[in-house]
Chains A and B, each alone.
Chain A
Amino acid sequence: MSFKFHIFSKISAYLLGFVWILPLLYAFWAAFHPTEYATKFDLFAPLTMDNFVSAWDQAPFLSYMLNTVIITTLILVSQLFVCTLAGYALAREEFRGRNIAFALIMMQLMVMPEVLIVENYQTLAGLSLVDTHLGVGLPYLASAFGIFLLRQTFKTIPQELEDAARVEGLSGLAIIWKVFVPLAFPTYLAYSLVSVSYHWNNFLWPLVVTNTEASRPLTVGMAIFGAPESGVDWSVISAGTLIAIGPLLILFLIFQRRFIQSFMQAGIK
């Protein structure tokens, strides 16, 4: 009974793993074979790069990718800066209203900017920031999650280190920069990976707030590219998909362990 159960369990595990990776495997299959093999499997089907060429010709991937990189970087840099300051204040400073400020910040964990697309769009229109990189990034420049993670990490840094730095003559921002930031490096790395994969993949808000190639990220571009109206075939769509997810996927495969540990670490806090 137990032996049979183990065999069954193992087979199910590998089967489920296969099912889970199947969409990606299919994308590779369809992208590297001629269109007529998109819907039928043949081990000896000829390989081709044509689908990548036509995908590349049919959509401005380079500008999409550039936009995604700019937006993701803008958001990450701002988040690291803003969350460090707030995280430090919440972890190490005594001040009246701290609990209220913390509670206000934590609200964003529940009410994500995606939910408030209607009003945030109006705000952006009022600021004339629709269809700009800054506009796509703006609602995400501060992150409750980032503040929370850094606060938790900063709390564990011994007071003696801060006192020693003060004796050395460092003050204020210099202490944060020279003592807290280096010691919290694993948290920064973990948070950055989570943030980058979130914003590389974010769709709804960028869809609402971009109109042209000037600011449209990969996700929004891919939605237009893959729309049935645009009459692209499966093989070309698969090639486009691989182009779009390529950079993040390669990064993920190289730093797989780091990625998974980061998500774990970010989750347990």
Chain B
Amino acid sequence: MNKKVNLKAWALMLPALSLLIAFTHWPTLKSVFRSVTWAKSDMAPSQFVGLENYAMMLDDPVFWKVMENNLWYAIGTVPTSIALAIIMALWVNSKMRFTGLLRLAFFTPTILPMITVANIWLFFYSPNIGLFDQLLQMVNIDGPNWLGDPDLALPSLIFMTVWKEAGFFMIFYLAALQLLSVELYEAAKVEGASAWCIFRKITFPLLMPTTLFVLINALLNAFKLVDHLFILTKGGPNNASNLLLYYIYETAFSFLDSYYAATLTVVMLVMLAIIAFVQIFIFDRKIHYR
């Protein structure tokens, strides 16, 4: 009997497991294998080269630039998106008027394709005629070339990313806020606590599980949200706004070097593994799934 049940369960699991193994686990392993091999061309047989690809990577200034950019991208997007998401949720959950419209406005970027709205942002950022520069001209400031200036290209991407993801994270805070008990707040008001004090001592701590969940998602986004690069900067100028996933794409499909692309992919996988590790061993002790 027991054995029959086992077979049935595995039969039910089979389609999902085989698809996931074929397109997640197997390619993960293959990336590792490919990263320690090299071939002169696609036709030539590949040979084992040990850690040579990794040595080359460590000597590659673009790799270091990309890693540094990704770090700034994470620092620029993660805390800002989280803070904005909390503020948005508090607004939408408050008693002010037009909260329905506000919620709609904040959430809409979530369902718009990044790549398509990037075309609109390209106009906002374009020098002189773009919206931002036109606004600056109103106060007599010569606007910069947002995407062409190496110092401003990455911050411009960060700004658009925050716009894209903050409303999405707001939803989770909104869900959490609606579950908080009203009595707690009434008690705090009776005690005469200020709004800021209530937020700091009650709301924020109670939102902690949501914040951790959102934090993990924001960190993942910092590695995988690169669609807008294709329209806005293509990683430029001179790699000033290039990010790891975009560099992997360039290496594999523009420079046609699948061995080095695999090596970079392994670095990406290590980054994701670190995030997973943080989630499982540090945070999951505090968030409980049933």
Contacts and interface: CB of A to CB of B under 8 A. Distances in A.
A118 B19 contact: no
A251 B115 CA distance: 19
A100 to B, nearest CB: 11
Interface in A1-36: 2, 5, 9-10, 13-14, 16-18, 20-21, 23-24, 26-27, 30
Interface string B248-280: 110011000010011001001100110110000
Interface centre among A82, A116, A268 (most CB of B within 10 A): A116
B218 interface: no
A263 B171 contact: yes
Interface in B107-148: 107-124, 129, 131, 134
B154 to A, nearest CB: 19
Interface in A91-121: 93-96, 98, 101, 104-105, 107-108, 110-121
Nearest to A21: B105
B249 A105 contact: no
B23 A120 contact: yes
Interface in B161-198: 163, 167-168, 171-172, 174-176, 194-195
A249 to B, nearest CB: 7
Contacts of B30: 119, 122
B174 A264 contact: yes
A112 B265 CA distance: 12
Interface residues of B, number: 90
A39 B134 contact: yes
Contact of A111 (B226, B248, B258, B272): B272
A18 B131 CA distance: 14
Interface string A201-231: 1011001100000000011101100110000
Contacts of A218: 113, 116
B226 to A, nearest CB: 7
B111 A117 contact: no
A252 B248 contact: no
A113 B16 contact: no
Interface of A: 2, 5, 9-10, 13-14, 16-18, 20-21, 23-24, 26-27, 30, 38-39, 81-83, 85-86, 88-90, 93-96, 98, 101, 104-105, 107-108, 110-123, 138-139, 141-142, 144, 147, 152, 155, 172, 197, 200-201, 203-204, 207-208, 218-220, 222-223, 226-227, 234, 237-238, 240-241, 244-245, 248-249, 252, 256, 259-260, 263-265, 267-268
Interface of B: 5-6, 8-10, 12-13, 15-17, 19-28, 30-31, 34, 84, 88, 91, 96, 98, 101-124, 129, 131, 134, 163, 167-168, 171-172, 174-176, 194-195, 213, 220, 223-224, 226-227, 230-231, 245, 248-249, 252-253, 258, 261-262, 265, 268-269, 272-273, 275-276, 289-290
13 contacts: A23-B124, A86-B17, A105-B17, A114-B245, A116-B23, A119-B30, A121-B253, A122-B30, A155-B290, A201-B115, A203-B115, A234-B123, A237-B120
